[in-house]
Structure 1
């Protein structure tokens, strides 16, 4: 599979996964957390899919497309550990989190997901969902939509 085809598969999985998760949390109270803003495409999709939810964003740098800059009060800039701790101190609770951090090095990405999972878990509402490209720990893994290869995108439910 070419890199271009792989990218198309990833983007399709991302869209299908977020749309599915948005439907699943329809009756659940809580905000949304975007972990990794990048260019802002996913943030833009979350804004469109969940217009009545506050969307928190964490990233090291603010470099999205100009149309995808989150409000200053919803953007936490810095290292993930510090920003997740900061968000927790604000008492925010998430119905949905999209985990999109990554270095492009699988071993490093898996290690980071494992390290950040215990900081994400307390932010989640019971029953909330985490949609992730990386394996996470401390959550119940659930099956996402049938259109997504279970190894392409991962879905987790917060149980506590």
Structure 2
């Protein structure tokens, strides 16, 4: 039996994600550049990004659009399909420019998580700006990125932060 329930695990992940987003917003405040959201889901995180970064272009990638009506991204910045195909297709537009990327694609399937983490570690580095922040619900191994300590309010292991080295 697990030491924590799935409800607690979800709660800790959401608290950590919220704390990491607040940290990232401060880190990118003075830096121009777009934001990438991998995994629209119901649109709650996208809504939070849009609320706190209203002047930023937020590129959203997912297999399907299941977001609430009030959490819909700009259709011109929504890319549906497999992330490992749709994000690289925008290489010319985004290469080296993204200041914040949030990858929230994990599940309770460990094997799928391994594949998703490897895919994220492959497709995110080419679009990230030097000093850019990557947030992920899965641990990522990305050359040229340093892990960052989680901010207060984020439980270890519940979310992950990385900064691209200059």
TM-score by length of 2: 0.90
Q: CA RMSD in A?
A: 1.4
Segments of 4+ moved more than 6 angstroms? none
Q: Distance in 1 between matches of 2:155 and 2:8?
A: 14
Per-residue deviation, 1:122: 0.9
Conserved 8 A contact 1:114-1:135: no
Q: Distance in 2 between matches of 1:69 and 1:121?
A: 26
5+ long unaligned stretches in structure 1: none
Q: What corresponds to 2:26 in structure 1?
A: 23
1:71-82 equivalent positions in 2, closer than 5 A: 71-82=74-85
5+ long unaligned stretches in structure 2: none
1:97-112 equivalent positions in 2, closer than 5 A: 97-112=101-116
Q: What corresponds to 1:53 in structure 2?
A: 56
Q: Distance in 2 between matches of 1:124 and 1:83?
A: 16
Per-residue deviation, 1:91: 3.4
Q: Distance in 1 between matches of 2:28 and 2:137?
A: 19
TM-score by length of 1: 0.93
**Segment of structure 1 superposing worse, 79-88 or 143-152:** 143-152
Q: Does 1:121 align with 2:125?
A: yes
